[in-house]
Amino acid sequence: MTSPEQVAPLQIRAHTLLCLQGYKGLGYSPEFIRKMDEVADLLRKDPETEVRIICAPDVFCAVCPNLDGNHCVADELKNTGKVNGTPDESTLMDYLVLKKLGFRENEIHRWSAILETIGRNVSSSDMDLLCGGCRWREYPHCANALDALSETWTYRLNQGN
């Protein structure tokens, strides 16, 4: 398995940029949690890490038990009646997040710039639109983290930084 340090830039789904804000050690499997821990730790230690923003399975999906080819089975199970070939909920969330942040698919940004963009543009009030039926919304971690990041950037803007 390749470590995040060996992959430049890291490929991360657009919606997962938001998920990383509230990540608290929960996940779909032990392998998924290990990968989230590994990447979250890397990004925390080196905010200048380059990230390619994608709308497809990423470094985390690669170890998720819900990945079936390029499709999220967890999304399929909760969205009965989906037509084959339509984007799964994860992909739809990716495109919504891209639009909200003003990014384009496959752009590369430093993690610090991504954090600033999230902080300036997203708060918990955006979660209804951006996060859809995500099962992790029942926990307060994401909402709290997004609001804290938003408050940090609001404070910096008000201070002229």
Helix (H/G/I), strand (E/B), else coil: 68: strand
User: Is 75 contained in some domain?
Assistant: yes
Span between the terminal Cα atoms of the chain, in Å: 40
User: Is 136 contained in some domain?
Assistant: yes
Walk along the chain (161 residues) and give the pLDDT tens digit of each residue. Answer: 445 445 579 999 999 999 999 888 877 788 888 998 999 999 999 999 999 999 988 888 777 777 677 777 765 545 544 545 566 788 889 999 999 999 999 999 999 999 999 999 999 899 988 987 787 888 888 888 999 988 887 656 666 65
**How many domains in the chain?**
1
Q: Which two tokens stand for residue 24?
A: 């608290």
DSSP string across 99-143: HHHT--TT-EEEHHHHHHHHHHH--GGGHHHHSTT-GGGGSSHHH
User: Is 47 contained in some domain?
Assistant: yes
User: Which pLDDT does position 13 carry in this prediction?
Assistant: 93
User: Which pLDDT does position 47 carry in this prediction?
Assistant: 95
**Chain centroid to CA 107: how far?**
15
User: Is 161 contained in some domain?
Assistant: no
Domain span at residue 50 reads: 4-156
